[in-house]
Structure 1
Amino acid sequence: MTIIHIITSLGIGGAEKLLVNVVNEQVKQHSVHIIYLKPIKDLVPVLDANIKVKQIPLNFLTVSRLKKYYKTVKPTVIHTHLGHADLLGIWSARNQKANIFCTMHNIYFKKNFLDAIFFKCYTYLFLKISKNCKVISISKSVEEHVLKKLKLPQNRSFLLYNAIPNSIKAYKTTKNKTINLLFIGRLEKQKSIPTFLKAIYQLKQQQNVNITATIVGDGSLKKELETLAKKLQIKHLVNFVGKQEDTNPFYNNAGIFILPSIWEGFGIVLLEAFRAKVPIIASNIEGPSELINHNVNGLLFEPENHIELANHILLLINNSSLRERLAQKGFSTFTEKFQINTYVKKLNELYEHF
């Protein structure tokens, strides 16, 4: 097969990481192309050298340039990822003979009036242009969103959970007396990092609690979060390290992984923590709650409840056997259900049969 993937950018994010993992596996058997629209290419260096990568700028010529590329390549499959790429990719492919797929990577969460208007416009346009498109959801919560909010027919909806490679060595949690708490993700409202910082402040009030925190990622709230850490007098405990291409060393040094999001389509970082044998504490929301069985392969807390988060962290600090048990169960969850070679096999079957 000749497969073209279209994505908004190749920055460091969950959807982008999934795509990189998928194409690096697909290219072993197929001709694979990636088109990205915005000039953000952090993940290009980790792509297999046999993948054809091209940027088509996001402007009024995007659709015509995409059509020209299709004419040259003659794809079997056109597969889009994320908002701009979905709309422009599907629209430009509407008269192509190729099978058209779209992966939905997140759920809609009403943040404000403008977001609500944008989503209504997106829904209207998507339904108008996507009649020949099959939609893959990365979790049950995303699929429910697709069926109810986007009103997609059931026969064009498919569930395929995210996955990652098993090629990285599974790390053990650190044996240091100081427990390092790790967050990896965008520094945006969705991730609710103030909840994490307030939990650290709460723990700071306890005697004999030795913790540090590492926050990996960048975003519009970085300065605001650094100011909050200073205000809470925990700046000396929290290390903001910015965006990192290789996050594996951070998992290696982590004692506990924290995901405090208020909404999440899936959370590919949870799979990375499972693989690295780092115990997880995550908010009890759609997406993460499909991966984590409370007190079996991780702990869940109510969103934005920093007291409950602090209590869960303290429980794991004081109970090394529980940390080890959760880490081992998490690793088993990953190896049994979320390996990329199995994912790509199922994806290729969808390409061929639908």
Structure 2
Amino acid sequence: MARVLHISEFTKGGIETHLNEVLKYQSESHDIYLMASEQNSNRDTLQISPDRLFLYPYQRKPKYFLKAMRSMQKMLNEINPDIVHVHGTFAGFFLRTLFFLKRKRPVIIYCSHGWAFLMDTLPWKRKLFAEVEKVLSLRTDFIINISNHEYEMAMNYGLSPKKSVVVYNGVSDAPSSDHLPFAVKKEKINLLYVGRFDRQKGFDLLLEVFNEHKFEDVNLYLVGDTVLKQCDYKYPDNAIKIGWVDNSEIDRYMKACDAVIVPSRWEGFGIVAIEALRNKKPVIASNRGALPEIIKHGVNGYIFDFDNKEELANIVRKLSKSKLEEMGATGERIFNESFHSDKMNKQIERLYENAVKKPSDRYSVSINKYV
């Protein structure tokens, strides 16, 4: 048993799904704590005991950065963890900066959940982000890449192959429920989008395609909303806004629809895609990030070129309920083989074991109690 502190910035969205899967699994064999920001984190839906959950005051503004680091330092002093598993770019920057000039430190496992240097931004910014990650990797024991694409790009940008591993995200079995959250029109193709309404997720492209093409036989259900800032979008007539839905309810919404659409502009992984597969729903996804590793065109969904929006329009126009149902059954099999949470959690557990065994002077005094 080890004392493990998980640290995240925001948890709303896919990161909460991931954290809950890991926390549930590790709570049976480790002494688990979670620290996350008050903003965009839901105390009630994070699956950890309230006395082991710590929310720090935070907004993604420079004046809060030092406050966040001080909160983390205080928690580290109180808990004295053996392993710190840090999630996300900002949390990773705060935490590893604290240890940069210190000789003694706990084991540090870092997962960006989507590299900042792969964002759709200016080349000089991507290079800067990569240089920062390389420097901070000096205070990191293992770096988790959530796809082969992420791993290959990290190697191209010069991160250490000795510290880098690939662990696909995973989710557990879908809860059984026949109670659907709304009635859909059976004669229509009913598509579901789940996620933030922002540029990264390709939400603007999705609405653009549906506004330009009147898909009379298609309804588009939108689960989610904006997070960091409000945006004015023009919604097509066949779009139905639902708002945020608790992660525990997402499966019921997926079961109600014929397919799930993931039009991301960049995507580290795409947990929504594997949640769809476990519910026997095919996925219409962009060719960005890890999505082509999850979705095989014509097998468990469709892949379109993000830079050619007519490809997406043609796919939507030609959708068939019988073909979607057939691909959904195949998708469930692929999910069980490659993207189940059991596989992910066992890989993370082996990573912890290997990190603790590595000879180093970084460990906290308490480590010998758990080895």
Q: Normalised by the size of structure 1, how large is the TM-score?
A: 0.86
Q: Note the residue ranges of structure 1 that are not aligned, 5 or more in a row.
A: none
2:7–2:85 Cα contact (<8 Å) kept: yes
1:79–1:100 Cα contact (<8 Å) kept: yes
* Aligned partner of residue 190 in structure 1, secondary structure: coil
- Counterpart position of 2:146: 138
2:92–2:112 Cα contact (<8 Å) kept: no
Query: Alpha carbons of 1:62 and 1:301: their partners in 2 closer, same or farther (altered >3 Å)?
Result: closer
Query: Alpha carbons of 1:314 and 1:164: their partners in 2 closer, same or farther (altered >3 Å)?
Result: same
Distance 1:22 1:105 in 2: 14
Kindly provide the CA deviation profile for residues 189-233 of structure 1, in whole angstroms up to 9, marking residues without a partner as x.
12222332344345526xxx42211111112686432x2x2xxxx
Distance 1:121 1:56 in 2: 28
1:110–1:116 Cα contact (<8 Å) kept: no
Q: Identify the range of structure 1 (58-67 vs 84-93) with the bigger mean alpha-carbon deviation.
A: 58-67
Which AA in structure 1 matches 2:84?
I
1:136 Cα offset (Å): 0.3
Kindly provide the CA deviation profile for residues 68-124 of structure 1, in whole angstroms up to 9, marking residues without a partner as x.
3223222121011112210111222454442111012113345444x844x454434
Q: Identify the range of structure 1 (283-292 vs 62-71) with the bigger mean alpha-carbon deviation.
A: 62-71
Which one of the candidate residues 279, 299, 318 is aligned to 2:282? 279
Which AA in structure 2 matches 1:155?
K
* Aligned partner of residue 247 in structure 1, secondary structure: helix
Q: Identify the range of structure 1 (96-105 vs 159-168) with the bigger mean alpha-carbon deviation.
A: 96-105
Which AA in structure 2 matches 1:329?
T
> Where do 1:58-77 residues align within 5 Å?
58=58, 59=64, 60-77=66-83
- Counterpart position of 1:241: 242
> Where do 1:1-354 residues align within 5 Å?
1-11=2-12, 13-42=13-42, 44-49=44-49, 52-58=52-58, 59=64, 60-94=66-100, 95=102, 96-107=104-115, 108-109=117-118, 111-113=120-122, 116-117=124-125, 119-133=126-140, 134-149=142-157, 151-169=158-176, 176-201=186-211, 203-204=213-214, 209-219=216-226, 223-225=231-233, 227=234, 229=235, 234-235=236-237, 237-245=238-246, 246-316=249-319, 319-354=320-355
Query: Alpha carbons of 1:112 and 1:348: their partners in 2 closer, same or farther (altered >3 Å)?
Result: closer
State percent identity of aligned pairs. Answer: 25
* Aligned partner of residue 327 in structure 1, secondary structure: helix
1:10–1:16 Cα contact (<8 Å) kept: yes
Query: Alpha carbons of 1:2 and 1:126: their partners in 2 closer, same or farther (altered >3 Å)?
Result: same
- Counterpart position of 2:362: none
Q: Identify the range of structure 1 (23-32 vs 211-220) with the bigger mean alpha-carbon deviation.
A: 211-220
1:32–1:51 Cα contact (<8 Å) kept: no
1:67 Cα offset (Å): 2.8
Query: Alpha carbons of 1:252 and 1:345: their partners in 2 closer, same or farther (altered >3 Å)?
Result: same
* Aligned partner of residue 165 in structure 1, secondary structure: coil
Q: Note the residue ranges of structure 2 that are not aligned, 5 or more in a row.
A: 59-63, 356-371
Q: How many residues align?
A: 338
* Aligned partner of residue 280 in structure 2, secondary structure: coil
Distance 2:229 2:171 in 1: 28
1:168 Cα offset (Å): 2.0
1:253 Cα offset (Å): 1.6
2:258–2:321 Cα contact (<8 Å) kept: no
Kindly provide the CA deviation profile for residues 156-215 of structure 1, in whole angstroms up to 9, marking residues without a partner as x.
00100010111423879978112211111111112222332344345526xxx4221111
Kindly provide the CA deviation profile for residues 272-313 of structure 1, in whole angstroms up to 9, marking residues without a partner as x.
110111121111223100111111111111114332222212
Query: Alpha carbons of 1:65 and 1:279: their partners in 2 closer, same or farther (altered >3 Å)?
Result: closer
1:182–1:213 Cα contact (<8 Å) kept: yes
Query: Alpha carbons of 1:6 and 1:74: their partners in 2 closer, same or farther (altered >3 Å)?
Result: same
1:329 Cα offset (Å): 0.9
* Aligned partner of residue 266 in structure 1, secondary structure: coil
Query: Alpha carbons of 1:110 and 1:328: their partners in 2 closer, same or farther (altered >3 Å)?
Result: closer
Q: Normalised by the size of structure 2, how large is the TM-score?
A: 0.83
Which AA in structure 2 matches 1:143?
Y
1:239 Cα offset (Å): 1.2
1:141 Cα offset (Å): 1.2
Which AA in structure 1 matches 2:159?
L
